[in-house]
Amino acid sequence: MDIDAARIVADTVLRAGPVLRPYRATSHRDPNRWQFGMLMPADLAAGDESLSATAQTECLIEAEPGVRLRVLLRFLQVQRRTVYRWLPDRGRFKPVGSLGVDGSAIASCDEPVEHEILFDVDEATLCGAGARHTIRVPGGFDRTELHDARRALVGQVVRHRRPLCAMLNVSAQPVPAPRPALRLRVWVENRTRAGADGHEVALTTALVASHLILSVDNGAFVSMVDPPGWAAEAAEDCANVGLWPVLAGPPGRHDTLLATPRILRDHPGDLLDSAVDELLQLRNLAG
């Protein structure tokens, strides 16, 4: 299995460059800037056709007895970082866009927090009723005091994370083919509710840069980019929405699959250097 290799590819093409650049407090919080794999809160998506709370990938597995699947869901959670200046004459803190501390500027912004959810699905579950996994990410509130070189209190940084809730469903059905094969479906939904605050908290209740890494024991993934002749018709019938699967790991390996919001080719490890260069150029052009 090449889960680590798939992680590197995903981090390069989804989570480098502009996606991880924080918003300044003076910037418009545009969800499109966190551009890949945005699963918005369910209640917002229900009222706006341009938003989606769900994504799905389907692919084919040549299954042997004892087939076993490992599912890794990865996404970013956006937390709000607010900087406060200490006002000693008033005995309180005041929120500010940026605070200078000993020549360094500390800014209020939105920050990414990484999450990985991993679970296994055995043959009986995979070929039976399937698996449903509820994902709950707790909210959080952290406070860090800021002191200058003389150890005088000058401010504080407060980080706030809203709780997230998502559902992951995994199921498989046999497909008519010359070889024993399964059509695997992995479906993820953001079930978080933004509530009355609506678009103001949309980013902090979204699953950002959502993608899947799948690995299989006693089986092999079929290329969805260039399926063999015996699997071509079944591959055409697979429905992928918001996630597109490619074989990961080195050429010749079929035990790991990467499903991302970006369309890649099979075994995309050789794209790393060029993707990093491209993202750095885009970041420089964007200033």
Residue 272, number of CB atoms within 10 A of its CB:
15
Q: Say if residue 205's pLDDT is above 90.
A: yes
Q: Say if residue 272's pLDDT is above 60.
A: no
pTM of the model: 0.85
CB contact at 8 A, 54 and 187: yes
CA distances from 150 to 90, 122, 147, 154 (A): 21, 59, 8, 10
Q: Say if residue 17's pLDDT is above 50.
A: no
CB contact at 8 A, 120 and 39: no
Distance between CA atoms of residues 63 and 179, nearest Å:
9
Span 231-242, pLDDT tens digits:
999 999 999 999
Partners of 55 in beta bridges: 188
Q: Give me the mean pLDDT over the 61-66 stretch.
A: 93
Q: Give me the mean pLDDT over the 174-193 stretch.
A: 93
Q: What is the pLDDT of residue 104?
A: 94
* Token code pair at residue 16: 């480098």
Q: How many CA atoms lie within 13 A of 62 on its CB side?
A: 14
The position carrying tokens 């945005």 is 38
The position carrying tokens 């940084």 is 157
Burial class (CB in 10 A: 0-12, 13-18, 19+), 226: exposed
Q: What is the pLDDT of residue 153?
A: 97
Partners of 12 in beta bridges: none
Partners of 118 in beta bridges: 72
Instruction: Look at 125 and 37; give whichever has higher pLDDT.
Output: 125
Instruction: Look at 103 and 274; give whichever has higher pLDDT.
Output: 103
Span 152-181, pLDDT tens digits:
999 999 999 999 999 999 999 999 888 889
Q: What is the pLDDT of residue 32?
A: 47
Distance between CA atoms of residues 249 and 240, nearest Å:
21
The position carrying tokens 């309180």 is 92
pLDDT, averaged across the chain: 86
Q: Give me the mean pLDDT over the 258-286 stretch.
A: 66
Span 105-154, pLDDT tens digits:
999 999 999 999 999 999 999 988 899 999 999 999 999 999 999 999 99
Q: How confident is the model at residue 27 (pLDDT cuts 50, 70, 90)?
A: very low
Strands 92-96 and 140-147: unpaired
Above pLDDT 70, what percent of the chain?
85
Q: Which amino acid is at 110?
A: D
Q: What is the pLDDT of residue 146?
A: 97
CA 226 distance to own-chain centroid: 26
Span 249-258, pLDDT tens digits:
788 899 999 9
Element (H, E) at 187: strand 181-190
Partners of 59 in beta bridges: 184
Q: What is the pLDDT of residue 279?
A: 46
Instruction: State the DSSP string of 240-265.
Output: -BB-EEEE-SSTT--SEEEEESS---
Q: Say if residue 270's pLDDT is above 70.
A: no
Q: Which amino acid is at 46?
A: A
Instruction: Look at 23 and 38; give whichever has higher pLDDT.
Output: 38
CA 132 distance to own-chain centroid: 19
